[in-house]
Amino acid sequence: MTTGTVEVVGVQKRFGDTVALEQVDFTVAAGEFVSLLGASGCGKSTLLRIVAGFESPSSGRVMISGRDITDWPPHRRPTNIVFQQGALFPHLNVFDNIAYSLKLRNWSRTRIAAKVEEMLALVRLDGFATRGPTELSGGQVQRVALARALAAEPSVLLLDEPLSALDQKLRQEMQLELRGIQKRLGATFVFVTHDQTEALVMSDRIAIMDRGKIVQVGTPREIYKRPASIFASSFIGQTNLLPGKTTAVAGTAVTVAVGADDPVEGLAAAPLAIGAAATLSVRPEAVRIATGEAAVGGVPATLSEIVYLGNSIRIGAVIGDGTLVWADLRDEEAAGLEIGDKVRLTWAPDAATVWEGAER
Amino acid sequence: MTTPSLGVRLDGRRLRLGAAARPLLPAGAYYAVFFAIPMASLFVLSFWRAKGFDLVPDVSLVNYEKIATSPLYHALLVRTVAIGLITSLIVVPIAFTLSYLMRFVFERWAQLILQLALISLFSGYLVRIYAWRTILGKQGLLNSTLEWLGIIDQPLEFLIYSNFATIITLTGLLIPLAVLPIYSSMANISRDHLEVARDLGSKRTHLVRTILVPMALPGIRTAFAFSFLLAAGDFVTPSLVGGTQGIMIGNVIADQFRGIGSNWPLGGALAFVTMALVLVIYFAVIRAIRWVTTW
Amino acid sequence: MVRANRPGVFAIGYLAAVLLLLYAPVVVIVLFSFADSPRLSLPIEGLTLDWYRNAFDNPLMGVAVRNSLILAVVSAVGCGTLGAAFAFGIVKMKRARLRGALLGASLLPAVVPLLVIGISLAVFFSALGLHQSLRNAAFGHILVCLPFVILTMNARLETFDFSVLEAARDLGASPFRAFRDITFPLIRPSILGAGLLAAALSLDEFVVTWFNIGSQQTLPVLVWGLMRRGIDPSINAVASVLMITMVALVIGSSLYGRRRR
């Protein structure tokens, strides 16, 4: 069965002289939850709108369930979209909003009522059928928008930052709920977001976009552990980026001189030459702090910040070249540390990724 | 059916622009037929000649020559432009001050005041002109009240059938039209702008000249265009309150079309000469405002 | 100084003076339409409805009212449809420059003196061999009301959320169905409001009418005729009725557009 697959082949989009998408290739398998993640203006919404049919690509093709639908108008496409602000029809109540696509298909009244009932139950809004859109909270509006889109039984559901207008707590609830609904229906969801946590929590796979290009596609775990670029590593989660120079290369294991020419080890993202300018990325939770005379190896540093985060303590330390490196420690690990302490920063070699060149 | 396209770009884009422009077509066509073509016909007609009751197609400058060489028309044009200019130079500052007060002093009442201004605009064009005749007349409201109060013994003659009457009447008619654009362009000047300028040591007059006027300039320009063009082009006001000495070019133009001894080509030529003159002065004044307010 | 929020004496006085300038004529007209004596001066000695009776005894009155109403309806319908479509078209445009230019162009007839519009239409119709008539005046009314209708429709449509239209298309509606089911019901109040505005403008329109209607009457043409003849208090009565109708239409128009926000 190929129903529900999405293939975007060589899609380009220009608006006048500005290039919104350059050469995007991208596939989604049936039943997959894929997030398009990127900062605003990276082209993620444009890509979604091209799949939905609201924009047509300047070149390239879009296939859904194996059929080329590039030239189809939005109302013929087997996709449905949930908009950022819901876009509920303000003059129709919840029932009529959800029933809209079914009425267009001339379903019988009883069949429509049953489907709407089912959808309302799915989004846990039983009993809301006669409410008007203005009588709903932000979360409820998005649930109705979801129910309205799902009622049309799309092969692919597109979601354009549907949770971004909600407050933090509600958003987290809705993330899990959306994920649950997607799993239950086994439907294909393409979800656009700028919120990396959201993408990590919900997705089977994440596509990171930057300046009109997809820069990495992978599972949340792959992307977090092995970001493919400096950009991806800094966009997903927090990371320390240390500029330096390679001093030894043995396969993927490289030694980089950072700080005041202090050698540390990491894994190369791509083959590197000795003596090349490089950037080493290491996540704060991978950084350990060694104190006392006995400590050897790692990078010498001076503690400059101690920030209490509740479940952990974030320590800032300045290394030889003035770069500030963050380390997240558990409460007991941080005991006794004072600002001004001379320490050494260490990490497991496979926790650090090394790229050629400087940060962007 | 093919849709006319406004696009000049490459094929794909052009089609889409055509589709987007479709709702514009009915009104666009209406403007073309009932605005552009009539204006063009009037322009063409202004080069024709009138022979008795007949119009003779021609490409002659005879009407324009008549206007250029007649001291009567010169005097009329000068008076028309002067009255238009004086009126707009009264209307725009009044509207500017009112907009300022609405924006920064009567903030809470601004919408109500705006509505009141709008409603007065719809209380009747002819009626409001006529009402001023009642107010300013020799035995009108103002004179009779002043006499009754013992301030004057004799009615003030200059109040009615004078340029004064024309100007005050036009002022009352045009203020609402000038307030709308000026107020809306002042909406994006915040209190902070003024505060910052004062903080930097700006005096009050300086503030008006360097902050308020330049920032509200788009609105001022529209207001000035409205008030100057409409005042200079009005013929109803001078004919009702301006008296025999107060006729403006509009009256002469109107007479060429609905009067005894009408001459359409001459009327058309007068209309275009007036509009051209008004436009030139309009741009000169705008340039002057800009020159005074920026440095 | 700038933060001084309480209106001062100057501010209040100024506001009062401007409102007086705007509303003195209105008050005078209504007041004297009920005044006993034909001499228009204070103090008013007694009140009467005679001027209203006089005004409506005028044999031309019936025709004038009928023609004015026809023109008002024609303007409302004509401007409502043309203006709504135009405003909708430009609001949807993405390029702000083009949008601004088109809006500006659509306002041109409001800046050209009515006198010039009136005579140019007279020339145009006579070139086509169409004799001056109510029909000619009606075309003129639509033209002079259209800019104001476009301006108000544009202001109201600027807050229109076009994603509901996309949602309808997305859910399977053809462009026509999306317009019928979603767009039209949503912008209907704005169109009605703009239509009422056009009706009010049309009731007031004199100049273009006068050059194009020939020997026919409308209320403003009738009033003009009476005014030319001298001071006649029944003018005040006709004017008051006209004024109240127009003000009611304008207030109705602004209430209509504001509903369902």
Q: Residues A190-202: pLDDT tens digits?
A: 999 998 889 998 9
What is the predicted pLDDT for the residue at A34?
95
Residue B70 has pLDDT above 60, yes or no: yes
Closest approach of A73 to chain C, Cα-based (Å): 8
User: Mean pLDDT, to the nearest integer, of B268-277?
Assistant: 94
What is the predicted pLDDT for the residue at C117?
96
Give this prediction's pTM.
0.79
Taking each helix axis as running N to C, give the angle between helix B249-258 and helix B264-293, from 0 to 180 degrees, rounded to the nearest 10.
150
User: Mean pLDDT, to the nearest integer, of A227-242?
Assistant: 83
What is the predicted pLDDT for the residue at A275?
83
CA B285 to CA B279: how far, in whole Å?
A: 10
What is the predicted pLDDT for the residue at B3?
40
User: Which among C35, C59, C33, C60 is positioned nearest to C46, based on CA atoms?
Assistant: C35
Q: Can the peptide bond before residue C43 be classed as cis, meaning omega within 30 degrees of 0?
A: yes
Closest approach of A87 to chain C, Cα-based (Å): 5
Instruction: List chains adjacent to chain C, taking adjacency as at least 3 C-beta pairs closer than 8 Å.
Output: A, B
Query: Which residues on chain B are in Cβ contact (under 8 Å) with C152?
Result: none
What is the predicted pLDDT for the residue at C32?
84
pLDDT class of A36 with cuts at 50, 70, 90: very high
- Domains annotated on chain B, with CATH: 1-45 (no CATH), 61-294 (1.10.3720.10)
Which pLDDT tens digits describe chain C residue by residue (261 residues)? 444 456 788 889 999 999 999 999 988 888 888 887 766 666 667 788 888 888 888 888 899 999 999 999 999 999 999 999 999 889 888 778 888 899 989 999 988 999 999 999 999 999 999 999 999 999 999 999 999 999 888 888 888 888 899 999 999 999 899 989 998 999 888 899 899 999 999 999 999 999 999 999 999 999 998 888 877 788 888 888 888 888 888 888 888 766 543
At B176-229, the pLDDT tens digits run 999 989 998 888 787 777 777 666 666 677 777 777 888 888 899 989 988 998
Closest approach of A184 to chain C, Cα-based (Å): 22
User: Which among A28, A153, A173, A35 is positioned nearest to A98, based on CA atoms?
Assistant: A153
**Residue among C7, C88, C210 whose CB faces B106 most closely:** C7
What is the predicted pLDDT for the residue at B49?
87
What tokens appear for C149 in the block?
A: 């209708």
> DSSP 3-state assignment of A246?
strand
User: Mean pLDDT, to the nearest integer, of A33-53?
Assistant: 92
Q: What separation, in Å, do the N-terminal and C-terminal C-alpha atoms of chain B show?
A: 56
User: Mean pLDDT, to the nearest integer, of A87-116?
Assistant: 94
Question: Touching check for A164 and chain C: CB below 8 Å?
Answer: no
Q: Which residue of C has its CA nearest to A16?
A: C95
**Residue among C170, C172, C185 whose CB faces A52 most closely:** C170
Question: Touching check for C119 and chain A: CB below 8 Å?
Answer: no
pLDDT class of B6 with cuts at 50, 70, 90: very low
At A127-171, the pLDDT tens digits run 999 999 999 998 999 999 999 999 999 999 999 999 988 888 899
Question: Amino acid identity of A208?
Answer: I
Query: Which residues on chain A are in Cβ contact (under 8 Å) with C181?
Result: 89, 100
User: Which among A234, A79, A231, A98 is positioned nearest to A160, based on CA atoms?
Assistant: A79
Residue B9 has pLDDT above 50, yes or no: no
At C38-67, the pLDDT tens digits run 666 666 677 888 888 888 888 888 999 999
Closest approach of B26 to chain C, Cα-based (Å): 6
CA-CA-CA-CA torsion sign (B246, B249, B254, B257): positive
Closest approach of B267 to chain C, Cα-based (Å): 9
What is the predicted pLDDT for the residue at B10?
41
Q: Which residues fall within 8 angstroms of residue A322, CB to CB, at 6 or more apart?
A: none
What tokens appear for B248 in the block?
A: 């403006």
At C153-197, the pLDDT tens digits run 888 888 888 889 999 999 999 989 998 999 899 988 889 989 999
What tokens appear for A278 in the block?
A: 């490089």
pLDDT class of A126 with cuts at 50, 70, 90: very high
Q: Which of residues 227-266 of A touch C (CB under 8 A)?
A: none
What is the predicted pLDDT for the residue at A295?
65
| CATH level 3 topology of A238-356 | OB fold (Dihydrolipoamide Acetyltransferase, E2P) (2.40.50)
- CB-CB under 8 Å, A73 with C170: no
Which secondary-structure segment (H or E) carries A353? strand A352-356
**Residue among C170, C172, C185 whose CB faces A91 most closely:** C185
Closest approach of B292 to chain C, Cα-based (Å): 23
**Residue among A73, A85, A101 whose CB faces C171 most closely:** A101
CA B17 to CA B27: how far, in whole Å?
A: 17
SS3 content of chain A, % helix, strand, coil (to 5): 25, 35, 40
Query: Which residues on chain C are in Cβ contact (under 8 Å) with B171?
Result: 21
Question: Touching check for C111 and chain B: CB below 8 Å?
Answer: yes
ipTM computed for the complex: 0.89
Q: Which of residues 152-191 of C touch B (CB under 8 A)?
A: none
Question: Touching check for C177 and chain A: CB below 8 Å?
Answer: yes
What is the predicted pLDDT for the residue at B2?
39
Question: Touching check for C42 and chain B: CB below 8 Å?
Answer: yes
What is the predicted pLDDT for the residue at B11?
42
Mean pLDDT score of chain B: 85
Q: Is A251 left (phi over 0), alpha (psi -120 to 50) or beta?
A: left
At B145-167, the pLDDT tens digits run 888 888 888 888 888 889 999 99
Mutate to test the interface with B, among C3, C18, C74, C205 (most CBs of B within 10 A): C18
Concatenating the DSSP letter of every residue in C23-73 gives HHHHHHHHHHHSBSSSS--SSP--B-SHHHHHHHHSTTHHHHHHHHHHHHH
Question: Touching check for A80 and chain C: CB below 8 Å?
Answer: yes
CA C146 to CA C110: how far, in whole Å?
A: 9
What is the predicted pLDDT for the residue at C6?
66
Concatenating the DSSP letter of every residue in A143-203 gives HHHHHHHHHT--SEEEEESTTTTS-HHHHHHHHHHHHHHHHHHT-EEEEEES-HHHHHHH-
Question: Touching check for C206 and chain B: CB below 8 Å?
Answer: yes
Question: Touching check for A104 and chain C: CB below 8 Å?
Answer: yes
What tokens appear for C83 in the block?
A: 């203006």
At A1-23, the pLDDT tens digits run 478 899 999 999 988 888 899 88
Concatenating the DSSP letter of every residue in A307-323 gives EE-SSSEEEEEEETTS-
**Count of C-beta atoms within a 10 Å radius of residue B14:** 13
User: Mean pLDDT, to the nearest integer, of B107-119?
Assistant: 88
Q: Are B157 and C44 in contact (CB under 8 A)?
A: no
Q: Which of residues 141-160 of A touch C (CB under 8 A)?
A: 145, 148-149, 152
Taking each helix axis as running N to C, give the angle between helix C233-258 and helix C9-33, from 0 to 180 degrees, rounded to the nearest 10.
120
Q: Which residue of C has its CA nearest to B256?
A: C119
- CB-CB under 8 Å, C247 with B123: yes
What is the predicted pLDDT for the residue at C257?
62
- CB-CB under 8 Å, B125 with C139: no
**Residue among C15, C21, C81 whose CB faces B172 most closely:** C21
User: What would you report as the CA-atom Rg of chain C, rounded to the nearest whole angstrom?
Assistant: 22
CA A218 to CA A208: how far, in whole Å?
A: 9
What is the predicted pLDDT for the residue at B294?
63
User: Mean pLDDT, to the nearest integer, of B281-294?
Assistant: 84
CA A323 to CA A341: how far, in whole Å?
A: 16
Q: What residues pair up with A268 in beta bridges, in sequence order?
A: A354
CA A264 to CA A348: how far, in whole Å?
A: 10
- CB-CB under 8 Å, A54 with C172: no
SS3 content of chain C, % helix, strand, coil (to 5): 75, 0, 25
Ramachandran angles phi, psi of A123, nearest 5°: -95, 15
User: Mean pLDDT, to the nearest integer, of B59-66?
Assistant: 90
Mean pLDDT score of chain A: 89
Residue B16 has pLDDT above 60, yes or no: no
What tokens appear for A132 in the block?
A: 């008007």
User: Which among B127, B295, B125, B146 is positioned nearest to B211, based on CA atoms?
Assistant: B295
Instruction: List chains adjacent to chain B, taking adjacency as at least 3 C-beta pairs closer than 8 Å.
Output: C
Please tell me the CATH code under which domain A6-233 is placed. 3.40.50.300
Query: Which residues on chain C are in Cβ contact (under 8 Å) with B134?
Result: 28-29, 32, 40, 231
Question: Amino acid identity of C118?
Answer: G
What tokens appear for A71 in the block?
A: 């030239």
**Residue among A81, A104, A148 whose CB faces C173 most closely:** A104
At A257-314, the pLDDT tens digits run 888 888 888 888 888 888 888 888 898 989 988 887 666 678 889 999 888 888 888 9
**Which percentage of chain A shows pLDDT scores above 70?**
98
**Count of C-beta atoms within a 10 Å radius of residue A275:** 10
Question: Touching check for C207 and chain B: CB below 8 Å?
Answer: yes
Closest approach of B32 to chain C, Cα-based (Å): 10
**Residue among B31, B104, B132 whose CB faces C25 most closely:** B132
Residue B1 has pLDDT above 60, yes or no: no
Taking every pair of Cα atoms in chain A, the longest distance, rounded to a whole number of angstroms, is: 81
Residue B130 has pLDDT above 60, yes or no: yes
Residue B20 has pLDDT above 50, yes or no: yes
At A241-269, the pLDDT tens digits run 888 888 888 888 888 888 888 888 888 88
User: Which among C111, C135, C115 is positioned nearest to C125, based on CA atoms?
Assistant: C135
Which residue has tokens 């770009």?
Answer: B9
At B222-264, the pLDDT tens digits run 899 889 988 999 999 999 998 888 889 999 999 998 876 689 9
Question: Touching check for C96 and chain B: CB below 8 Å?
Answer: no
At B184-195, the pLDDT tens digits run 888 878 777 777
Q: Are A87 and C167 in contact (CB under 8 A)?
A: yes
What is the predicted pLDDT for the residue at B14?
44
> DSSP 3-state assignment of A300?
strand
Domain ranges of chain A: 6-233, 238-356
Q: Are C231 and B241 in contact (CB under 8 A)?
A: no
> DSSP 3-state assignment of A319?
strand
Strands B49-51 vs A213-218: parallel, antiparallel or unpaired: unpaired
